[in-house]
Chains A and B, each alone.
Chain A
Amino acid sequence: MARIMSLAEGVEENVRDGDTVAMEGFTHLIPYAAGHEVIRQGRKDLFLVRMTPDILYDQLIGVGAARGMKFSWGGNPGVGSLHRFRDAVENQWPRPLEIEEHSHAAMANAYEAGAANLPFAAFRGYIGADLPKVNLNIRSVTCPFTGEVLAAVPAIRPDVTIIHAQRADRNGNVLIEGIVGVQKEAVLAARRSIVTVEEIVDELSPPSPNSVVLPGWAVTAVAHVPGGAFPSYAHGYYPRSNAFYIRWDEIARDRETFTAWIRENVLAAKPEDFARHAAKTAAKVA
Chain B
Amino acid sequence: MTDFTPTEMMTIAAARALSNDDVCFVGIGAPSAACNVARLTHAPDITLIYESGTVGTKPDVLPLSIGDGELCDTALFTISVPEMFRYWLQGGRITTGFLGGAQIDRFANLNTTVVGPYDHPKVRLPGGGGAPEIASNCGRIFITMALTKRGFVERLPFVTSMGHGEGGNHRERLGLTTSGPTRVITDLCILEPDPETKELTVVSMHPGVARDQISGNCGWPIKFAETVIETPAPTETELVVLRDINARTKKAHKAAGKEAA
Contacts and interface: CB of A to CB of B under 8 A. Distances in A.
Contacts of A79: 64
Contacts of B256: 239-243
B80 A182 contact: yes
Interface residues of A, number: 64
A90 interface: yes
Nearest to B253: A242
B118 A134 contact: yes
B59 interface: no
Contacts of A245: 64-65
B198 to A, nearest CB: 13
B79 to A, nearest CB: 8
B65 A77 contact: yes
Contacts of B176: 127-128
A196 interface: no
Interface string A39-73: 00000000000011000000000000000000111
Contacts of B89: 105
Interface string B62-99: 01111111011000001111101110011000000000
Nearest to A184: B80
B164 to A, nearest CB: 9
A149 B253 CA distance: 45
Given A77-B66, A243-B256, A126 B132 contact: yes
Interface string A103-120: 111001101100000000
- How big is chain B's contact interface, by range? 35 or more
Most chain A CB inside 10 Å of its own CB: which residue of B89, B130, B260: B260
Contacts, number: 212
A217 interface: no
Interface stretch (A229-237, A251-259, A263-271): A229-237
A105 to B, nearest CB: 4
B132 A90 contact: no
Interface centre among A26, A79, A182, A238 (most CB of B within 10 A): A26
Interface stretch (A10-18, A197-205, A277-285): A277-285
A27 B67 contact: yes
B69 A240 contact: yes
Contacts of A73: 126-130
A28 to B, nearest CB: 5
Interface stretch (A1-9, A159-167, A173-181, A218-226): A173-181
Nearest to A241: B260
Given A123-B90, A241-B257, A242-B257, A128 B174 contact: yes
A75 B126 contact: yes
A72 B253 contact: no
B175 interface: yes
A106 B230 CA distance: 42
B196 interface: no
A108 B44 CA distance: 31
Nearest to B84: A108
Query: In the complex, which of the residues B51, B67, B160, B256 has the most CB atoms of chain A within 10 Å of its own CB atom?
Result: B67
Contacts of B113: 101, 130-131
Scoring A27, A128, A131 by chain B CB atoms within 10 A of each residue's CB, the highest score goes to A128
Nearest 6 A/B pairs, CB to CB:
A243-B257, A27-B67, A128-B162, A75-B126, A77-B65, A241-B260
6 contacts: A103-B129, A127-B162, A129-B160, A185-B82, A241-B257, A241-B260
